[in-house]
Structure 1
Amino acid sequence: MPQSTGLRPVHWLLLLISAVAYVALAYTVPRQSFWLLLTWMAVAFGAYAALWYTRLPLKAGLAAALLLRLLWLPALPPFSDDYHRFRWDGLLVAAGINPYQFRPDEFTLPGHPAQTQAKTGLADTLSPVQHPPQHLLSAAAQHQLAVEYPLLNSPHYYSVYPPVCQAVFVAAVKMFPTSATGFAFLLRLVLLAAELVTAWLLGRLLLAFGQDARRALLYLLNPLVLVELTGNLHFEALVICLLLLLLGLLWRGRVVLAGVALGLAVATKFLPLLVLPLLVRRLGWWRWLLFSVVTGATLLVVFVPFLSWELFSNIGKSLNLYFRSFEFNASFYYLLRPVGQWLTGYNEIARIGPALALTTAVGGLLLAAREPHPNWPMLPRALLLLLTLYYLLATTVHPWYITPLVALSVFSHYRFALVWSGMAVLSYAAYQTLAYTENLWLVGLEYAVVIGLFLWEMRRPRPRPVADLRQR
């Protein structure tokens, strides 16, 4: 068998170890058991690194990436409860209720009659102007919402999941209206399909850019990618697929279709908008304007079913809270926070968060203006550096946020994103208690390693850029 597949005995052993680790993570490790989780993730990352350095063949690696993902198919997300909000939104959309207009705590549900009165101070700042149309909900739907409500991690916030996500949520709810397991199963199938397209796009783009297609395995076999995207059902899987499709279309000169791809990516997660300034010099002003118009038109089309004043108002409020109130696994913000407290006597996140976001915007414009080789093969590197700046300055960095960096890094000689994907596992320590108390020593260790490697790699000589024969 090894002679026919190119696999050596060490590869079979490492793949078996990987499979055991993922089965343990999917079915036996509770989120609160941090040290057990860390142990199995360390095993998975150790096998991942060994498979790369023992030169696992590409075809075998692609097959392994698929099979390791299929191990998660029957599992509920083990380390994230976000899917409860996914299902909540899907139940509302299926009933014809706009999920951007109402917070979960505004509904009066069976077994939760007083939840509209039991608001926190933060919820009061987002006080509603109308009552949700609960008459549109069937008795069965109200029962399902009542089951989901105690499991929500953000009942006092409006939904921030864009329309592409909502379309998947409602499709899964309509197929499995009473089963959370079936709902998760269908979401996982959608994300697996996106990952299959990602695998194909990675191989095609790497070959087109004159690079080794085996680099795709650095993303496809990455344990954080498997656990957070396949396991925990985060839609960065679809964002990564659409960003790679965008890159492939731009490489082929298909500007209009590329604009549609970016519009769909932004309609899945808002972050891909950061790529826009990096395209000005590559496309030229007129083609960039055409591209931007198509992107905007695509966004308008997908948002049409949800258009209302509350859509803009409530998403704006939630995003404002994200930058001004939320903090998790941050780096530079955690260094600035005590300075603000020392100067004013209280947490200055409401000022520091927007200031860091503005710094990212300025840094992105400078990177776009000063990029030495603005061709298509160098676009993943530029976007990698821009997103890295964004996350280093962000006040909230959940582990799955790192996965697009892992995908982009395969096109470059930088490996800090791969190390970050491993170090980000330390942030799971916060889930040992219901209060989500972070261990700042572990956060400091994570960023000391990541920033140290980043600075070291930035000082290394860069390889000669690939000639972009399609640049126009």
Structure 2
Amino acid sequence: MPRLTGLRPIHWLLLLLSAGAYAAVAYTVPRQNFWLLLSWMMVAFGAYAGLWYTRLPLKAGLVAALLLRLIWLPALPPLSDDYHRFRWDGLLVVAGINPYQFRPDEFTLPGRPAQTPAKTGLADTVSPARHPPQHLLSGTVLQQLAAEYPLLNSPHYYSVYPPVCQAIFAGAVRVFPTSAMGFAFLLRLVLLAAELVTVGLLWRLLVAFGLDKHRALLYILNPLVIVELTGNLHFEALVICLLLLTLWLLWRKRVALAGGVLGLAVATKFLPVLVVPLLLRRLCWRRWLLFSATTGATLLLVFGPFLSWELLLNIGKSLNLYFRSFEFNASVYYLLRPLGQWVTGYNEIARIGPALALTTAVGGLLLAAREAHPTWPTLPRTLLLLLTLYYLLATTVHPWYITPLVALSVFSSYRYALVWSGMAVLSYAAYQTLAYTENLWLVALEYVVVLSVFGWDLRRPVPTSAADQRQR
């Protein structure tokens, strides 16, 4: 491993500040203490900006990025409780129970009877109460589930984590069947491995596209990336890795293999499917159909063990709830919400959410059709704009959703995604109360700053990479 040589005193100071900030967030700052969290994140982002503008040597930056991630290795996720659902699903998969078929509140656990839809208040969105095959669960597993249940943030909803995630959850449970700490440790190792592959892919793609390799530091040292992916165990780390691998394989003309990798990305998080329309003008019809066929075949193969009518029905219900009920840190939707309330007298999210999603789909098709000079080097920038449109129109934008934008921005001159990664920390103000009450002034500040930088980026001329010029 390269040593941290050739560093100036300012680099050492900034790296020590970064390490101190991450250690504080990982081990000392409760999520409810927003202002302390914000203070430490400002230190981390200040150090990040300083390291970029003082031109931290690339190899030293790669080593530093790994060491800063290793700070989190023995920590439980400090700012997210999603890993409790990860473990719940993993326990079910290992026991042979399909996690997509039953909600957590349908299980009869020690000290807690199963609930009916009437008791959950979701009778119009869930199926009639059934009896999970609890005979498959040992007493130890039931005790583990009972311990996890009070910690779940969505016990009344079906699992929304696709099969690649479920396989990793199950693998971690098999290795650490009774240890939440061990479970989180193994998930972190998997995501760290994905991040290491991402570093290699960033390096290769930047070289292939004739861009400065130093740009890789914009992603791998980004504080939101480190905190949310390594620290809070969000699987965008794996999605980013698979998306970049898809791009690398397409660049190498390995179309069928690229389609299979994208299938794995979609089977990790559904969002990467948005890239498919952008490929039509970059591939001939025959190759595009081959790519789409291998993507679809991979999805069928991966979903196969869980495939059932209930799988489609319940995932559909979860997605329906996502677009029609959930709202957090939104922008355009929060402007439309009071208008709907003024017209009808109540929250119109059930109509506005799907309408905004449809607008994203139409916008994506228009972006694909009207893109000037579509090439492989311009694909990250176009996908960046499409995902930006999606999140600007979304009703829910958690901070970790921004991390793919940070990765894609490495290949462009746009810097609004980097600014957004810092401003998104303001959304954690909602966790100061048990009711998760958002401070709309902070939300407004976040988006005013981000959209201002976005507008400034769009007004600047777009530089052309050497690889882009060759393809043209």
Considering the TM-score relative to the shorter chain, is it more than 0.5? yes
Q: TM-score, normalised by structure 2?
A: 0.98
Q: Deviations over 1:342-377 (max 9, x none)?
A: 000000001000110011011101110111120000
| 2-structure distance, mates of 1:416, 1:117 | 43
Residue 23 (str. 1) matches residue 23 (str. 2): yes
Aligned residue in 2 for 1:313: 313
SS at match of 1:283: coil
Q: Is residue 2:253 matched to residue 1:230?
A: no
Structure 1 residues 119-139: Cα deviation after superposition (integer angstroms, max 9, x where no partner)? 322255302363210000000
Say if 1:63 and 1:4 are closer, same or farther in 2 by CA, change over 3 A. closer
Alignment correspondent of 1:5: 5
Match of 1:171 in 2: 171
How far 1:463 sits from its partner (Å)?
1.2
* Contact 1:102-1:128 at 8 Å conserved across structures: no
Spell out the pairing of 1:359-398 with structure 2 (5 A cutoff). 359-398=359-398
CA apart distance, 1:413? 0.1
- Alignment length (residue pairs): 471
- Whether the aligned pair in 2 keeps the contact of 1:93 and 1:99 (CA below 8 Å) is yes
Q: Give 1:335's aligned residue.
A: 335
TM superposition shift of 1:399: 0.2
After superposition, give the CA deviation of every residue in 1:135-160 in whole Å (9 maximum; x if it has no partner): 00000000000000000000000001
Counterpart amino acid of residue 347 in structure 1: N
Give the percent of matched residue pairs that are identical in Structure 1 and Structure 2: 83
Q: Which runs of 5+ in 1 are unaligned?
A: none
SS at match of 2:101: coil
Distance 1:351 1:466 in 2: 46
Question: In structure 2, do the counterparts of structure 1 residues 357 and 105 end up closer, same or farther at CA, with 3 Å as the change threshold?
Answer: same
User: Secondary structure of the residue that 2:281 maps to in structure 1?
Assistant: helix
Q: Distance in 1 between matches of 2:66 and 2:398?
A: 25
Give the Cα separation in 2 of the matches to 1:235 and 1:52.
Answer: 26
Correspondence for 2:297: 297
- The code of the aligned residue for 1:322 comes to Y
- Deviation of the 1:118 alpha carbon: 7.1
Matches within 5 A, 1:109-188: 109-116=109-116, 119-123=119-123, 125-128=125-128, 130-188=130-188
Supply the AA of the counterpart residue of 2:376.
W
Question: Who is 2:216 aligned against?
Answer: 216
Cα-to-partner distance string for 1:184-219 (whole Å, 9 max, x where unaligned): 000000000000000000011001100011100000
The verdict on how the C-alpha distance between 1:298 and 1:13 changes in structure 2, with shifts beyond 3 A counting, is: same
1:465 Cα offset (Å):
4.6
- Report matched runs for 1:12-91 at 5 Å: 12-91=12-91
Q: Which amino acid aligns with 2:80?
A: S
Aligned position for 2:355: 355
**Is the Cα contact below 8 Å between 1:381 and 1:409 reproduced in 2?**
yes
Give SS of 2:311's match: helix
Counterpart residue identity of residue 392, structure 2? L
Contact 2:173 2:183 (C-alpha < 8 Å) held by counterparts? yes
**Aligned AA for 1:131?**
H
Give the structure 1 partner of residue 424 of structure 2. Answer: 424
Q: Determine if contact 1:89/1:169 at 8 Å carries over to the other structure.
A: yes
- What letter matches 1:453 in structure 2? V
Structure 1 partner of 2:105 = 105
Is contact 1:429-1:439 (8 Å) kept?
Answer: yes
CA contact (8 A) 1:164 1:267 kept: yes
Q: Deviations over 1:252-276 (max 9, x none)?
A: 0000110011000000000000000
Tell me by how many angstroms 1:468 deviates: 4.1
